[in-house]
């Protein structure tokens, strides 16, 4: 009896499936094939180079999953399976009867087992029933299999033409097909949007659609996911190309509700907000408000924070609404702090669009605004639900911004060791905009930062820990503050000078050889960054900089703490730094007495 049958393969094993075309002719007829495109035999084409991953087609009834899937399999030189046909053959009854006898939950459980079994074997093309990918457990199983998922998306008018004359099918019985399809589209499209690839289907021939699907599949790239392991507050950093257009499907699984407020700055919004908006809309995520702030560090203050909060609340933000930060470090810090304090905390998503934000500020949950006393002195730890680092956005950065972001990559190189060797070999390519070099820089920086944050989320380690990520920042923040956060000195530029100063201080105190300051400074200068105080257009005094550093967040019991290095990969924090050594260094590097 079906109720007790494990139709995941007890009677029909992986190597003993009946051919799908025979099953459709002699066995129960699957819902999928019965209302898909006309299904003449695919042409006898030589297959392309074997595709290394399974391909799972999802979409509405009538989208063409079986017809296109069979043709795609022939082109890729892979076997084709129809999940509905496999289920019916194993159960010995039509799916409509399974539903009638045992209900949808039982069917979905069996469907998931069938799909999981099929995807555990050699790569294949698999057409799924319309409701399969809308089931959370099945969707998760498909994603975990490593298959490429492709949504065949059709407009309502196209689907209606394809199902015309099929009103006898159970889902359309005594019902208006348009109403049925609209209801299913509203329920299922948000989940289909989580597919890796979307292909818009029209009334073109199946062969034309199949060619477009094949191109999309063969060019599909799976973004890399780096976990930030913080228990119930853990999340993924997703790195890849084209993520803005897929943002809805990528963030939907971690949202408590499909409502967001987007915070950006005017410059970034003009470039990237349309793509993000389209990506959110594809997953039926409602944007309650789009809030743009002026570009630059001056937006990180309490006045701007209050304005953002007021506009969020006026738009209808509640505790299940997510704040999405689209932009660089300023936007991420500001929007993240707003999310941390709005209604005592609402969900938060980071969509960094600058190199500096992708490699550093978007990961770790530090949020805040600046005070007159110094940078980021008011803030909160508020971890995002997910970070989407779309590396395509880096192509729109001005060269100066790209170079400034690279300073944080160099910092991570000094912290990690092997990455510093990569920096010296490939840093020039990264700042020149080489896509592969930038992707590597983002991935490795995020990998390092994720590990450090997981070990010391709130920077509470007595020695080392997350404080090590501030290498160069004690000096850098002081320089920024003295410039008034007016844009004349970018954060990354200040960090670059800070790295040179930290290396020089380390050498003066005997912690590293004299080779390292010159090596660090030479590399940063070669990448087009300022590396010494004298490289900056602003004039500084020793007293002013020392006063700023005395208020640094890392200080303890009134003592300044510095991050020092013995060499790449060997970095530590210390409070045992004579004040005279610091003042002498600043004076020698060009600060006035």
The CA-atom distances, in angstroms, between 265 and each of 291, 308, 341, 382 are 8, 12, 20, 21
Q: What is the pLDDT of residue 50?
A: 53
570 known member of a binding site: no
396 known member of a binding site: yes
Catalytic choice (473, 508, 554, 561): 473
Packed helices 435-455 and 399-416: angle between N→C axes, nearest 10 degrees = 50
Q: What is the pLDDT of residue 439?
A: 96
Catalytic choice (32, 370, 376, 470): 470
353 known member of a binding site: yes
491 known member of a binding site: yes
The 10s digit of each residue's pLDDT in 200-223 is 999 899 999 999 999 999 998 889
The 10s digit of each residue's pLDDT in 515-547 is 999 999 999 999 999 999 999 999 999 999 999
The CA-atom distances, in angstroms, between 457 and each of 65, 261, 340, 381, 467 are 46, 26, 16, 8, 10
Catalytic choice (408, 480, 482, 493): 408
| Average pLDDT along the chain | 90
User: Residue 28 — pLDDT band, cuts 50, 70, 90?
Assistant: very low
- The rounded distance, in Å, linking the Cα atoms of 1 and 4 is 6
189 known member of a binding site: no
Q: Tell me if residue 344 is catalytic.
A: yes
Catalytic choice (75, 112, 403, 477): 477
- The rounded distance, in Å, linking the Cα atoms of 300 and 372 is 11
Q: Tell me if residue 366 is catalytic.
A: yes
Q: What is the pLDDT of residue 90?
A: 85
66 known member of a binding site: yes
Q: Tell me if residue 551 is catalytic.
A: no
Element (H, E) at 74: helix 65-76
106 known member of a binding site: no
Q: How far is CA 50 from the centre of its chain?
A: 29
Mean pLDDT computed over 97-121: 93
Q: How many residues does the chain have?
A: 593
Phi, psi (deg, nearest 5) at residue 222: -90, 125
Q: Tell me if residue 408 is catalytic.
A: yes
pLDDT at residue 19 is higher than 70:
no
84 known member of a binding site: yes
Mean pLDDT computed over 64-89: 95
Q: Tell me if residue 400 is catalytic.
A: no
375 known member of a binding site: yes
Task: List the structure tokens of 456.
Answer: 């010391």
CA dihedral for 395, 396, 402, 406, sign (positive or negative): negative
Catalytic choice (162, 403, 466, 548): 466
Q: Tell me if residue 449 is catalytic.
A: yes
Q: Tell me if residue 106 is catalytic.
A: no
Pairing of strands 570-574, 562-567: antiparallel
The 10s digit of each residue's pLDDT in 346-358 is 999 999 999 999 9
Residues 6+ apart with CB under 8 A from 409: 355, 359, 419, 423, 427, 430, 441, 445
Q: Tell me if residue 580 is catalytic.
A: no
The 10s digit of each residue's pLDDT in 156-204 is 999 999 887 665 566 777 788 899 999 999 999 999 999 999 999 998 9
Q: Which of 328-342, 504-518, 550-564 has the lowest mean pLDDT?
A: 550-564
Q: What is the pLDDT of residue 173?
A: 73
Phi-psi region of 70 (alpha: psi -120 to 50; beta: other; left: phi over 0): alpha
310 known member of a binding site: no
130 known member of a binding site: yes
Catalytic choice (246, 300, 366, 412): 366
Q: Tell me if residue 166 is catalytic.
A: no
Pairing of strands 80-82, 348-352: unpaired
Catalytic choice (449, 511, 523, 554): 449
Mean pLDDT computed over 415-437: 97
Q: Tell me if residue 539 is catalytic.
A: no
486 known member of a binding site: no
């Amino acid at each position: 009896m079906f109720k007790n049958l494990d139709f995941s393969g007890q009677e029909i094993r992986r190597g003993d499936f009946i051919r799908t075309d025979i099953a459709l002719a002699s066995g129960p007829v699957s819902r999928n094939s019965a209302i898909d495109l006309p299904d003449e035999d695919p042409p006898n084409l030589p297959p392309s180079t074997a595709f290394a991953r399974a391909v799972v087609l999802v979409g509405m009834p009538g989208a063409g999953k079986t017809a296109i899937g069979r043709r795609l399999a022939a082109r890729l030189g892979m076997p084709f399976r129809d999940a509905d046909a496999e289920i019916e053959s194993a159960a010995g009854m039509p799916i409509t009867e399974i539903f009638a006898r045992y209900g949808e939950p039982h069917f979905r459980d069996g469907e998931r087992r069938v799909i999981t079994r099929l995807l555990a074997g050699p790569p294949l093309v698999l057409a799924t029933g319309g409701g399969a990918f809308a089931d959370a457990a099945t969707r998760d199983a498909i994603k975990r299999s490593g298959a490429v998922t492709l949504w065949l998306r059709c407009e309502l008018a196209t689907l209606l033409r394809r199902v015309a004359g099929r009103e006898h099918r159970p889902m359309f019985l005594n019902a208006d097909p348009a109403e049925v399809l609209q209801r299913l589209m509203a329920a299922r499209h948000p989940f289909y949007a989580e597919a890796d690839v979307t292909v818009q289907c029209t009334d073109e021939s199946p062969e034309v659609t199949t060619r477009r699907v094949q191109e999309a599949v063969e060019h599909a790239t799976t973004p890399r996911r780096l976990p930030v392991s913080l228990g119930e507050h853990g999340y993924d950093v997703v790195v890849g190309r084209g993520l803005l257009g897929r943002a809805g499907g990528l963030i939907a699984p971690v949202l408590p509700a499909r409502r967001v407020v987007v915070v950006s700055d005017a410059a970034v919004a003009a470039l990237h907000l349309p793509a993000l908006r389209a990506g959110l809309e594809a997953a039926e995520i409602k944007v309650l408000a789009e809030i743009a702030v002026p570009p630059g560090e001056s937006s990180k203050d309490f006045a701007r924070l209050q304005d953002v909060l007021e506009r969020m609340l006026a738009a209808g933000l509640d505790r299940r609404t997510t704040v999405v930060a689209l932009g660089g470090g300023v936007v991420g810090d500001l929007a993240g702090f707003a999310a941390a304090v709005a209604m005592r905390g609402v969900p938060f998503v980071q969509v960094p669009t600058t190199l500096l934000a992708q490699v550093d500020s978007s990961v770790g949950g530090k949020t805040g605004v600046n005070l007159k006393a110094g940078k980021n002195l008011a803030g909160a730890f508020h971890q995002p639900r997910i970070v989407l680092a779309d590396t395509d956005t880096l192509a729109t950065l001005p060269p100066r911004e790209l170079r400034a972001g690279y300073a944080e990559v160099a910092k991570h190189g000094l912290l990690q060791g092997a990455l510093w060797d990569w920096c010296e070999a490939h840093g020039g390519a990264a700042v020149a905009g080489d896509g592969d070099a930038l992707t590597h820089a983002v991935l490795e920086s995020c990998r390092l930062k994720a590990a450090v944050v997981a070990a010391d989320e709130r920077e509470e380690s007595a020695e080392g820990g997350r404080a090590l990520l501030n290498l160069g920042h004690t000096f850098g923040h002081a320089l920024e503050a003295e410039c008034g956060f007016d844009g004349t000195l970018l954060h990354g530029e200040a960090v670059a000078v800070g790295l040179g100063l930290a290396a020089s201080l380390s050498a003066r105190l005997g912690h590293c050889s004299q080779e390292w300051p010159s090596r660090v400074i030479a590399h940063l200068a070669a990448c087009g960054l300022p590396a010494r105080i004298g490289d900056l257009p602003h004039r500084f005094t020793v007293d002013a900089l020392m006063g700023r550093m005395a208020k640094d967040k890392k200080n303890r019991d009134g003592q300044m703490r510095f991050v020092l290095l013995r060499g790449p990969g060997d970095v530590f924090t210390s409070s045992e730094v004579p004040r005279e050594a610091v003042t002498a260094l600043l004076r020698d590097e060009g600060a006035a007495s």
